[in-house]
Amino acid sequence: MPAPSTSPAPPAAGTSTRVTGGVGESARRPDGALKVTGEFAYSSDLWADDMLWGATLRSPHPHARLTGLDIGPAVAMPGVYAVLTHDDVPGRTVYGLERADQPVLCDGIARYHGEPVAIVAADHPETARRAASRIVAEYDVLEPLTDPRRAIDPASAPRVHPTGNVVRHLAVRKGDFETGLDVAAEVTVTGEYEVGMQDQAFLGPESGLAVPAEDGGVDLFVATQWLHVDRDQVAACLGMPPERVRLTLGGVGGAFGAREDLSMQIHACMLALHTGRPVKMVYSREESFFGHVHRHPAVLRYEHGASRDGLLRYVKAEIVLDGGAYMSSTPAVVANAATLGVGPYDVPHVSVDCWGVYTNNPPCGAMRGFGAVQAAFGYESQMDRMAAELGLDPVEFRIRNAMSEGSTMPTGQAVDSPAPVAELLKRVSSVPLPPRERGDDGYDLRELPGGVSNTTHGEGVVRGVGYGVGIKNVCFSEGFDDYSTARVRLETVDGRPVASVHTAAAEVGQGLVTLLVQIARTELGIDEVTILPADTEVGSAGSTSASRQSYVTGGAVRAACEAIRERVPDPASLPDGEVVEETVEWRHRPTSPLNEHGQGNAHVQYAFAAHRAVVDVDTELGLVKVVELATAQDVGKAMNPDAVVGQINGGSAQGLGLALMEEVQVSGGRIGNPSFTDYLIPTILDMPPTRVDILELADPEAPYGLRGVGEPPAISSTPAIVAAVRAATGAALTRIPIRPEHILDLSGVSEGERT
Amino acid sequence: MEFLRPRTWNEAVAVKAAHPEALALAGGTDVMVELNFDRTRPASLLDLTGVDDLAHWALDGDVLRLGAGVTYSRVVDELGFALPGLATASRTVGSPQIRNRGTIAGNLGSASPAGDAHPALLAAGAEVEVESVRGVRHVPVAEFFAGPKRHVLEPDELIKAILVRPASGPQEFAKIGTRNAMVIAVCSFGLALHPHARRVGTGIGSAAATPRRALDAERFVSEELDWQGRGPLPDGVARRFGELVAHAAEPIDDGRGTARYRVHALAVMARRTLGWAWAAYRKG
């Protein structure tokens, strides 16, 4: 992989050249070697000598009335210490990120396949699982609501919740649409698209250890994305003041949004408090597919209007997002899909309606790039079709309509920092195309569609090139009080200045702990910086999501260091034995809610990435090999260039998965493939070499000028790959993930069917 | 659950006779998954990994004997020339870790319609050597499968070895998966040319209740090919062969693919693999 190129950026305030491993360097991760050698302790490795193991009984039905629950056979088993149900929830019986609508344990109606019904603690995990299976649960099976398009009708039945099935409908109107006029254009293109249910597929399943404390409270060690919001929900459901529930971050094996909602947290605490023993819960891979939210499946209808000379005039869109049985973060997903629904383009007239609905499908919530990912597949597919309709090159058409600094979003918000959409597109499109590599025999199976499965030696293989560009909001939006807390302590030990940084920010694998060290080194001018374990003994850091932690917790650590420097202008000269400590709560600029036309300065920052995908498609078998992904992304400031490249490669891979293989298959409300045998994620033979081009155009509002990095590459790689497959095959491909059957036209008599 | 671990083959056969309900365990790449998911709970497990003479292969006259403990990795590393079809198929199994543990005989024992080794073994005309205290018998692989995940072994029988002649002509294996590695077959196809017998062997995977041969396709193409003159393969013959292979399949729709796609893909794979094998044969 070529080294990322960087553009010059203005020097950040407070940077110092005295330290090594400061901001802008590829400092090494403290957890890197441990993870590579398998020694890193994940939350599933947590252990207490006298601990019990928890297990969960789940509903086998997507919609059913629980008519009977006999825990007797489970309680009677030797080694079983507790069997708890809905009636045993000590406090509030429901929880949720935006609205508490999800029962801790089934409240009489099971609303999705996998809903927790009862929990068990036993002295061995297998005993706990067997005891759970001996609980006799009787159900009156009800008709499930599984079509999200039906659910947007306020009168749709059955009602998944008494409030009706529409969680949120957001209308965004800009230009003539805002004043109620209709808009026409010389050329129009209409399309309907569908996005399947993607899973975050983190490798470390839900797990944690709850330890009852002497004060009657509980200490919970857990892999999560936001310790404080977990704590508040757990405390409410345990009927305890928040200070009696103390959380410490366990080793997190990936998150991608799936750990924003609670999974085993309340259950483990209930069992620990009930038994007076530490209780560990670890989901199996299969259970994990039922134990966390997924990416919202979407149905998107788009109408694009443009002038003959290739300027977008209007976009109309209707987007339906299937939120499944509970709310989770559906309202925020709706906001993103609606406000970012036309993509990074200047569009004078916009009308977007987006619905997030309840159904009896598995609950959906946060996943990397949420809302923006679904919309991007729709609007980028449309951009390619419109370009074709106009006879324009797809890159040229995008560049003509690319938004830039000073553009106005469909929400009326002015974009007040660099938005180099055209530049990103120019960069990816000017990268030389990869050669067609051939081995000694004329081919190398590993380079061909199908890989070593030996389905082609080049026959039927057609190359295609496609482009995608996306936009994502960074940080929390719509007036949310989004802040982070950092406590920095400076002292001199044996003549050497050392600093410790304490935040509650969740390191989920992205490298935040490395970044916070770099910031403290740079700001304090000292080399030795320790990151303390993340826990609730310090104030909230907010969520590790929305590409926000470098921005917000990074900003908080910088601010705390600045506060120390005000007291000790030269931190390296602090006398031995003296201690200086500062705790700072840091906020980004405020945002505002959206009005009834979806207007308002709802977002903090926008981030952009563009992809070019080169694919080889076996046009007779419908198999795809992505040959290369070229990415250009503006990161404002590459705080840690290696980590930035890692995020871009990882996001690109996740987008590749959505384009070509990743789907939780749901039929009649039931998950059909809850395993890594049948839920496929890309392997090393699927993920191609990448070319990563990093721009650093500072955002004057952001710490160091940085721009959130994690999500944009997961947005644009998907439409780029689909476009490349379309270019190779001519297939319409209106649904992702693409399956071989979509590439081939098997509607007529195909090969093998002749007699 | 009882865990039985014989040290010799004779002991293993005796233990199996005494415990006919025992489930044989080799690499554990299928059995342990089933146990972990609690889908199977056999009264006892018969661990064959302590029987060391099982993990060997040797040429016995003009037949290769693959002991029941021979792994996919060893076939890939050591038998690429002797059994190219089986080696190609073995290379598509799971990940390197799985290939290091999983065995060809275990693949037969699991008898999944999607087992990767089966089409190659069918095409090559392999036999399964099974033994019990009652004696030894040889079952052609084509007669080995009784249904999805079922085979014809009696409860007291164990697979001792797989007997197969080293390739006397080109062999091919192709498998459809929806990613480029580590994937269960959507459908698969094995092909072997047997020039001495002027016969083509076939094997279809994951497109019927059991792996099976495409007999009409074999008969058709064996007669059509110019074995003596090694002339070119007419395109019409290759296509007809593909169609006949597809006709031999009886696939279903499932989460991994549709029946229609499987039929189509088998025809394409059969046509292509025949082309590759015949081109190699013509080169000599």
- A164 and A210, same domain (yes or no): no
pLDDT at position A439, please? 56
| Contact in structure between A541 and A552 (CB atoms under 8 Å) | yes
Is A744 near chain B, with CB under 8 Å?
A: yes
Note the maximum CA span of chain A. Answer: 92
- A456 CB neighbours in chain B (<8 A) are 272
pLDDT at A19 over 70: yes
CATH assignment at residue A62: 3.90.1170.50
- Contact criterion met (CB < 8 Å) for B261 and A459: no
Residues of A in contact with B260 (CB under 8 A): 741, 746, 750, 753
Average pLDDT over residues A219-237: 98
Element (H, E) at A279: strand A279-282
Give the three-class secondary structure for A517. helix
State yes or no: pLDDT of A750 exceeds 80. no
Same domain, A223 and A282: yes
Q: What is the pLDDT of residues A249-297, one digit of tens each?
A: 999 999 999 999 999 999 999 999 999 999 999 999 999 999 999 999 9
CATH of the domain at A551: 3.30.365.10
Give the helix ranges, DSSP H, for A89-247.
125-134, 148-151, 227-238
| Cα of B172 to nearest chain A Cα, Å | 8
Same domain, A280 and A366: no
**For B172, nearest residue in chain A (alpha carbons):** A454
- Position A179 in a domain: yes
Q: Provide the residue range defining the domain that includes A178.
A: 153-199+296-379
Residue A669 located in a structural domain? no
Degrees to nearest 5, angle at CA B271 with B267 and B272: 120
What is the number of domains present in chain B? 2
Let me know if residue B148 belongs to a domain.
no
> Among B1, B19, B2, which Cα is nearest to B158's?
B19
Q: Which residues in chain B have Cβ-Cβ distances shorter than 8 Å to A452?
A: 91-92, 180-181
Q: Are A586 and A486 in contact, with CB atoms under 8 Å apart?
A: yes
Main-chain phi, psi angles of B172, to 5 degrees: -140, 155
Please give the tally of structural domains in chain A. 3
Pairing, β A735-736 against β A187-195: parallel
Q: Cβ of A741 and B180 within 8 Å?
A: no
Helices (H) and strands (E) in chain B, counts: 10, 13
Q: Which string of DSSP letters, residue by residue, matches A630-649?
A: EEEEE-SS-SSHHHHHHHHH
In this structure, the answer to whether residues A361 and A221 fall within a common structural domain is: no
User: What mean pLDDT comes out for the span A3-31?
Assistant: 68
**Predicted local confidence at residue A9, as pLDDT:** 43
Residue B157 lies inside a defined structural domain of this protein? no
At A8, the pLDDT band (50, 70, 90 cuts) reads very low
Among A330, A362, A379, residue at a domain's last position: A379
Residue B236 counted as domain residue = yes
**Whole-number pLDDT of residue A755:** 57
Is A643 inside any structural domain?
no
DSSP conformational letter for A571: G
Residues A161, A239 within the same domain: no
Cα nearest neighbour of A674 on chain B: B255
Q: Quick check: is A278 in a domain?
A: yes
A54-97 residue pLDDT tens? 999 999 999 999 999 999 999 999 999 999 999 999 999 999 99
Distance between A77 CA and the closest CA of chain B, angstroms: 18
Q: Quick check: is A312 in a domain?
A: yes
Does residue A326 sit in the same domain as residue A266? no
Q: Are A57 and A138 part of one and the same domain?
A: yes
Same domain, A233 and A90: yes
Beta-strand relationship, B2-4 and B44-47 = parallel
Residues A116 and A239 in one domain: yes
pLDDT in 10s for each residue of chain B, 284 residues: 999 999 999 999 999 999 999 999 999 999 999 998 888 899 999 999 999 889 999 999 999 999 999 999 999 999 999 999 999 999 999 999 999 999 999 999 999 999 999 999 999 999 999 999 999 999 999 999 999 999 999 999 999 999 999 999 999 999 999 899 999 999 999 999 999 999 999 999 999 999 999 999 999 999 999 999 999 999 999 999 999 999 999 999 999 999 999 999 999 999 999 999 999 999 98
**Percentage of the residues of chain A whose pLDDT score is greater than 90:** 93
Half-sphere exposure of B18 (CA within 13 A, CB side): 11
Q: Answer yes or no: do A370 and A500 share one domain.
A: no
Chain A residue with minimum CA distance to B263? A752
Residue B57 lies in a domain: no
Does residue A732 form part of some domain?
no
According to DSSP, the β-strands at A483-493 and A579-587 are antiparallel
CATH of residue B16 = 3.30.43.10
Res. A440 pLDDT band, cuts 50 70 90: low
Quick check: is A84 in a domain? Answer: yes
Q: What is the mean pLDDT of chain A?
A: 95
Same domain, A34 and A68: no
The predicted-structure confidence for A533-574, as pLDDT tens digits, reads as follows 999 999 999 999 999 999 999 999 999 999 999 999 999 899
Chain A CB contacts of B88 below 8 Å: 454
Between positions 590 and 649 of A, the ones with CB within 8 A of B are 620-623, 625
Comparing A531 with B52, the larger pLDDT belongs to: A531
Asked whether residue B7 is domain-assigned, the answer is yes
Q: How far apart are CA A133 and CA A137, in angstroms?
A: 9
Which of A211, A282, A280 lies closest to A244 in space, CA to CA? A211
- The answer as to whether B165 is a domain residue is no
For residue A441, pLDDT beyond 80:
no
A194 with A214, same domain: the answer is no
Average per-residue pLDDT for chain B: 97
User: Is residue A11 predicted with pLDDT exceeding 60?
Assistant: no
- Tell me the residue range of the domain where B275 lies: 171-283
Q: Quick check: is A355 in a domain?
A: yes
pLDDT cut 70: percent of chain B above it: 100
Question: If you count residue pairs, one on A and one on B, with CB atoms under 8 Å apart, how many are there?
Answer: 125
**Complete DSSP assignment for A645-704:** HHHHHHHHHHHHHHHHT----EETTEES--STTTS----TTTSPPEEEEEE----TTSGG
Distance CA B172, CA A196 (A): 35
pLDDT at A13 over 90: no
In a domain, B269, yes or no: yes
Q: Is residue B8 situated within a structural domain? A: yes
| pLDDT tens string B226-235 | 999 999 999 9
Tokens matching residue A318: 């209707």
Given strand B23-25, what is the order of strands in its sheet? B2-4, B44-47, B23-25
Residue A733 pLDDT greater than 80, yes or no:
yes
Residue A6 pLDDT > 60, yes or no? Answer: no
Taking the CA of residue B85 and the nearest CA in chain A, the distance in Å comes to 11
**Smallest Cα distance from A751 to chain B, Å:** 5
